[in-house]
């Protein structure tokens, strides 16, 4: 088996699939990238059993078959090559491949390809989702998913779509992000699945960088298979009951405060520098103004006041500074609506003129 390709093409495609290479797998084959040639078509794929990536490689190929090569080393080696043309040839008797580029020559030992898992293919009639809408929703929601593997159901994003509407929801139990998107056309079926946030973030990165117009998705028994252009991404689905997010959102609020988003972000970023060691950010509302304050023992404190369209009795509430900042950053527009009930009830961030995006954040009990 022998193939010839361009260095830039090889580097670009390896950078895609290498993101699914396992770095701590007990099985050696999961640390590799499988190079396959079938009917003149060359493919690269990798998987860590949680997520798999496969893409075509533009190359001239002789022979058929597949070889498994050390993934990280292959990607680094390809980036280091100086000549625009690369040749890769299997040497069966030596159980290695020879990689030639210009005056450079390398020999890499192959890994046992028989242990490499077979990646699932698209089955049935896939659903079609506009790539830009999907990437935008993932960008807003996925950050709120939990990173704690002890609660696996919260490490995913609940994706629901039917007709021309798609909703994504994520929560780590301290905050909740909901994004509703009106699609330009119907998706051609129904979709409801809890998909790992990591896989969706990777899918969003792929479609954003490759300029893909649409993404197709096929749901299998315990897998989802996405196609974005010539890239296939498969991921396991998360079992378990995802929280009913509608029950978590309060039905009414005592205060709806419109705030200038850029100014609020600047204030929170400045003051948050003094909210260290898990110290909360204090938001004190009084008639016509908001005071943002933070204090960390043995470090210092900060306070800044800005105008705010607040009426009623003084209200003071505490939030995790990072969670609050990320929520405000996710709201589009020049203004943000902060909806409050009481110091011990969650606050909600959303655009002023619609509820297509909502970000609920739990408060932190403040010491007097």
**Residue 260 resides in a domain:** yes
How far apart, in whole angstroms, are the C-alpha atoms of residue 293 and residue 288?
A: 17
Average pLDDT (334-349) is: 98
What is the model's pLDDT at position 17? Answer: 97
**Residue 121 resides in a domain:** no
Statement to judge: residues 241 and 253 lie in one domain: no
Cβ-based neighbours of 285, under 8 Å, separated by 6 or more: 255, 257, 308, 310, 314, 315, 316, 340
What is the model's pLDDT at position 105? Answer: 97
Statement to judge: residues 269 and 222 lie in one domain: no
**Residue 305 resides in a domain:** yes
**Residue 120 resides in a domain:** no
What is the model's pLDDT at position 267? Answer: 98
Provide the strand spans (E) within 85-219: 85-91, 96-101, 104-109, 127-130, 156-162, 165-171, 175-182, 190-196, 214-219
The DSSP secondary-structure symbol of 260 reads E
Q: What percent of the chain has pLDDT over 90?
A: 92
Q: For the stretch 69-99, what's the b/e string if a residue is b when 16 or more beta carbons lie within 10 angstroms of its beta carbon?
A: bbbeebbebbeebeeeebbbebeeeeebbeb
What is the model's pLDDT at position 362? Answer: 98
Domain housing 158: 127-245
């Amino acid at each position: 088996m022998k193939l010839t390709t361009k260095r830039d093409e090889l580097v670009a495609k390896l950078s895609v699939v290498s993101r699914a290479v396992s770095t701590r797998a007990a099985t050696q084959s999961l640390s590799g990238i499988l190079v396959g040639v079938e009917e003149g078509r060359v493919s690269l794929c990798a998987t860590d059993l949680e997520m798999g990536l496969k893409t075509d490689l533009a190359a001239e190929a002789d022979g058929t078959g597949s070889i498994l090569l050390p993934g990280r080393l292959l990607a680094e080696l390809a980036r280091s090559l100086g000549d625009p043309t690369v040749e890769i040839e299997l040497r069966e008797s030596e159980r290695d491949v020879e990689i030639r580029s210009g005056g450079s020559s390398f020999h890499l030992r192959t890994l046992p390809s028989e242990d490499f898992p077979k990646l699932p293919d698209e089955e049935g009639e896939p659903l079609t989702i506009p790539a830009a809408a999907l990437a935008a929703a993932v960008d807003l929601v996925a950050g709120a998913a939990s990173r704690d593997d002890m609660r696996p159901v919260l490490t995913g994003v609940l994706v629901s779509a039917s007709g021309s509407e798609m909703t994504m929801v994520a929560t780590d139990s301290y905050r909740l992000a909901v994004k509703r998107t009106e699609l330009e056309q119907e998706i051609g079926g129904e979709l409801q699945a809890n998909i790992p946030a990591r896989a969706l973030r990777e899918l969003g990165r792929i479609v954003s960088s490759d300029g893909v117009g649409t993404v197709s998705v096929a749901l299998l028994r315990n897998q989802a298979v996405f196609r974005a252009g010539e890239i296939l991404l498969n991921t396991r689905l998360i079992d378990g009951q995802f929280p009913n997010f509608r029950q978590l959102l309060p039905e009414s609020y005592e205060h709806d405060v419109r705030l200038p988003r850029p100014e609020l972000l600047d204030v929170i970023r400045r003051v948050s520098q003094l909210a260290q060691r898990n110290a909360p950010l204090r938001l004190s509302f009084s008639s016509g103004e908001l005071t943002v304050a933070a204090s960390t023992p043995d470090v210092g404190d900060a306070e800044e006041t800005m105008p705010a369209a607040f009426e009623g009795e003084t209200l003071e509430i505490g939030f995790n500074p990072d969670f609050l900042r990320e929520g405000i950053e996710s709201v589009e527009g020049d203004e943000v609506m902060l909806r409050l009930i009481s110091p011990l009830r969650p606050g909600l961030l959303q655009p002023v003129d619609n509820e297509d995006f909502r970000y609920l954040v739990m408060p932190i009990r403040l010491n007097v």
